[in-house]
Amino acid sequence: MKISKLDHVNIRTARLEVLVEWYTKVLDFRTGPRPDFPFPGAWLYTGDAAVVHLIGTAGDPGTGSESKLKLEHFAFAATGRAAFEKKLQEMDIPYQLADAPGFNITQVNLWDPDGNHLHVDFPADELPGDLRMKAVALTRYLPVDNPDAFVDVDLPKPEATGRDILVAVKAVSVNPVDTKVRRRGPADKIEDPPRVLGWDASGVVDSVGPDVTLFKPGDEVYYAGDITRSGSNAEFQLVDERIVGFKPKSLGFAEAAALPLTTITAYEAFFDRLGIDRDGADKGQSVLIVGAAGGVGSIGIQLAKAAGLVVIATASRPETSAWVTELGADHVVNHREPMVEQVRKLGFEHVDHVAIFNDMRHWETAVELIRPQGGIVSIDDTDLPMPMAGMKTKAASLHWEFMFARAMFETPDMIEQHNLLTYVAQEIDAGRIRTTLSETLTPINAENMKAAHALIERGTARGKVVVEGF
């Protein structure tokens, strides 16, 4: 029989009787194998016709009793039973269902002998209250002024396995990446189940996977997450502990949620990509920050000053000029006017570093101002021309920063995001860095999420916009 696999789960065999012990703790079979479970996931046959993968929670409170599952049987609770039986009947799959107290199935995956796959998610309203959560999601990729751009939904509550922690989300921040994902998605695609966006959050650890060593339930945390996984605009979110930091003790949840994505981006741009010394060995060097009043620039100014750099910030309006000055910029130039002349009037023929934190319209200005053997870092993808002759002549370097890269590819140094978030939290608690929160909307719902996206899309926001509280 041809057998498919789900994500990174590999099936060894299921042609044996399986003895499963139901524990009083919650189990999630998605990521197996487990030393106390003989197969990587609860994989069983229904007769000879299909392979079934069960995802859910198990527990027989008080007894820890054993239940024997045979080839033609699998444990099933009343939750979602009718919907699942209907699917089996529609596919003409022979089956027998054996009830097992304490087992709640939230998701089922079926494969027929040819490897064809059917995925079944039970509607959240069929689940017990403690197995579902509120979320703000999208079903279609729509303009922000469309009434259905976001919808309030109930979804199955996830469970922590491996190195994941489950966070009870208290506040989320909206970033340009959120609006790009919503605007650039396929216009004709329907997301079923609804897709949850959001890659900036603070909250409290609800539970932890068996391999977690950094956190425990009750810890207050902040993080950006992984763009390849479900986002933070939900009551609960799974996130790998290696990209999570302890929330600054001196900040509330809204103030903390404003920081993670932009902090990671600016920190990696300066200290990992450009190679600036975080602890001051490059004191006195200059950096031009283009787009300094935005979320990344607002924390970038503070990180650069903490490292001893001379900061030239760009801003185009009186209120944003005042904002970047308040954050510590030494000089301010207007990026809507020719910048080369402005910078040179300040006494800088060249600058040591350039950080482009908005878009690439100012590429030629950056090349003109960078010193020989200096470095430029950018965070924006672009289709605009980027002539390289000037870079070659100066032997200057170009670096790309994408803060999701470590999580997406599970790089060996993935835990550095935990380390840098911990460092910044300590700097905040010591009073050397401040939050970049500028506006808070309450509560977390579809209406406020649309309002936050609209603010970001206008391109005039300073600092960060946060949505707080379910």
For 178-238, give the secondary structure using H, E and C: HHHHHHHCCCCCCCCCCECCCCCEEEEEEEECCCCCCCCCCCEEEECCCCCCCCCCECEEE
Residue 5 included in any domain: no
Domain boundary among 387, 402, 417: 402
pLDDT 10s digits, 348-363: 999 999 999 988 899 9
Parent domain of 59: 18-122
Sign, Cα dihedral of 84, 89, 92, 94: positive
CATH number of the domain enclosing 307:
3.40.50.720
Same domain, 372 and 423: no
- For tokens 């300066």, what's the residue? 270
Same domain, 324 and 382: yes
Q: Is the pLDDT of residue 168 over 90?
A: yes
Sign, Cα dihedral of 328, 332, 335, 340: negative
pLDDT in the model for residue 359: 82
User: What share of the chain has pLDDT > 90, as a percent?
Assistant: 65
Domain boundary among 90, 122, 154: 122
CATH number of the domain enclosing 135:
3.90.180.10
Residue 95 included in any domain: yes
CB atoms within 10 A of CB 66: 10
Same domain, 111 and 134: no
Query: What's the rounded mean pLDDT across residues 227-250?
Result: 97
Same domain, 255 and 271: no
Query: What's the rounded mean pLDDT across residues 364-385?
Result: 94
Residue 6 included in any domain: no
pLDDT in the model for residue 243: 98
pLDDT 10s digits, 14-40: 222 222 222 212 223 322 333 333 333
pLDDT in the model for residue 463: 84
Same domain, 308 and 254: no
DSSP string, 437-462: EEEEE-S-SHHHHHHHHHHHHHT---
Same domain, 139 and 85: no
Question: Of the ranges 55-69, 70-84, 178-192, 391-405, which one carries the lowest mean pLDDT score?
Answer: 55-69
Q: Determine the Cα–Cα distance for residues 172 and 220; give it in Å rounded to an integer.
A: 14
Residue 2 included in any domain: no
Same domain, 397 and 421: no
Query: What's the rounded mean pLDDT across residues 316-329?
Result: 95
Query: What's the rounded mean pLDDT across residues 250-279?
Result: 97
Residue 3 included in any domain: no
Same domain, 271 and 255: no
pLDDT in the model for residue 271: 98
Best mean pLDDT range from 115-129, 154-168, 305-319 = 305-319
Query: What's the rounded mean pLDDT across residues 184-196?
Result: 89
Same domain, 255 and 269: no
Contact 54, 105 (CB under 8 A): yes
Same domain, 134 and 215: yes
pLDDT 10s digits, 390-426: 999 999 999 999 999 999 999 999 999 999 999 999 9
- Type of residue numbered 217: P
Q: Is the pLDDT of residue 53 over 80?
A: no
Nearest to residue 233, comparing CAs of 188, 177, 184, 183? 177
pLDDT in the model for residue 432: 94
Domain boundary among 374, 402, 430: 402
- Kindly indicate the confidence band of residue 124, based on its pLDDT and cuts at 50, 70 and 90: low
Residue 10 included in any domain: no
- Kindly indicate the confidence band of residue 460, based on its pLDDT and cuts at 50, 70 and 90: confident
Residue 451 included in any domain: yes
Query: What's the rounded mean pLDDT across residues 178-206?
Result: 93
Query: What's the rounded mean pLDDT across residues 227-232?
Result: 95
Q: Is the pLDDT of residue 8 over 50?
A: no
Q: Is the pLDDT of residue 255 over 90?
A: yes
Distances (CA, A) of 417 to 236, 242, 265, 391: 21, 7, 10, 30
Q: Is the pLDDT of residue 242 over 90?
A: yes
pLDDT in the model for residue 127: 56
pLDDT in the model for residue 132: 81
Query: What's the rounded mean pLDDT across residues 458-469?
Result: 88
Average pLDDT of the chain? 79
Same domain, 348 and 372: yes
- Kindly indicate the confidence band of residue 74, based on its pLDDT and cuts at 50, 70 and 90: very low
pLDDT in the model for residue 393: 97
Q: Is the pLDDT of residue 112 over 90?
A: no
Assigned token pair, 389: 């002759």
Same domain, 385 and 293: yes
Number of domains comprising the chain: 3
Residue 38 included in any domain: yes
